[in-house]
Structure 1
């Protein structure tokens, strides 16, 4: 297993993504806080530092190979959990204006603690469900980019994310090798919600053999007022 320095060197060589020293230091602080808090509240099953770097941090940064994110973009991370990927993207790109959405209060408490201790600005931690946020003024159709990782199938995920994205913006779903089948099953839901499938990035997790897909959905028309449906419905009865 490579140490952190080796992982970062190989990641930069393979992707061209370089992490400045200040970002590396903040990411180290995040990992330390995650490991400490994880002893009290289950945030991740991955606890070894090198694996957190590989499976959480570097995996999150693969999005910068999938699409170009403009300076100052407004980003929402739906079902962020421990802040993955949204908080990690904010640390790497401080210019981003980020909203982290999480339905479990104990996880939001962790996120608030990390944001305070790292001194991050222009980042909001919300205790909410995507179905509720997608109907609120100031959030509905107001984001340049919505991201989600390890949250739900694509036909559910698009109902969580697309109502939050402005026309002309995008959502990106982090997926494994089954993403192609999920995307096919979600084709009608994507159209219904105002989206259109964009680029699909395929690659592998840094330092490993795990396959990764990053699926981009462009928002072309406004989402009908019917969506998102009430909390729980997108998961219970996915659009087909």
Structure 2
């Protein structure tokens, strides 16, 4: 909790300099960002099989929260924007997250590295996200993708070859939101 309190304080301070989260969500940081990220822990296996990769980490959600709450999991934050990279690195240092590493690069430029869990929040539409992230996945990789109100529709719009691999779990922080959960069971997984 100390780390999460510190993260909230850092976020409020930094949000005055750069728009990390919307101004309307600052008053509800605990529910909108911290709890929304933390709920992914209930969907993760314990222990997870491998590291967690958070694509398009931005303000650090859900990756920083998960790294703070589960120091036993290696967390890799992927972000391409310089100011956000600097912010994430400052948070990793300030929160003493020895289990967390920031990769300052576009997803397309990252070297192949398999992840036990893939997550992304407000990063890309589901088909594009799957296309970009598949190379980090194996048949055992768990995909946890907070999608807000669009989750069910994004899964329904997937081609049949992908649709059966994903389902939507109800968000515990927003009655209208969902989390896309799945595993890539196609031949493309693991290649």
TM-score, normalising length: structure 1: 0.71
Q: CA deviation at 1:46?
A: 4.0
Residue 168 of structure 2 is aligned to residue 200 of structure 1: yes
Partner of 2:116: helix, strand, or coil? Answer: strand
Contact 1:66 1:200 in 2 (8 A): no
Long gaps (5+) in structure 1: 1-23, 228-240
Q: CA deviation at 1:97?
A: 0.2
1:1-240 matches, within 5 Å, as 24-46=1-23, 51-71=28-48, 73-133=50-110, 136-137=111-112, 139=113, 142-188=114-160, 190=162, 197-205=165-173, 210-221=175-186, 223=188
Structure 1 stretches (4+) deviating beyond 6 angstroms?
none
Partner of 2:165: helix, strand, or coil? Answer: strand
- Give the Cα–Cα distance (whole angstroms) in 2 for the partners of residues 38 and 78 of structure 1: 21
CA RMSD of aligned residues (A): 2.4
Aligned residues: 191
Contact 2:62 2:120 in 1 (8 A): yes
- Give the Cα–Cα distance (whole angstroms) in 2 for the partners of residues 110 and 189 of structure 1: 38
Contact 2:57 2:63 in 1 (8 A): yes
Contact 2:137 2:189 in 1 (8 A): no
Q: CA deviation at 1:215?
A: 1.2
Flag the 1:122–1:190 CA change in 2: closer, same or farther, 3 A: same
Long gaps (5+) in structure 2: none
Flag the 1:36–1:197 CA change in 2: closer, same or farther, 3 A: same
Name the larger-Rg structure: 1
Contact 2:146 2:178 in 1 (8 A): yes
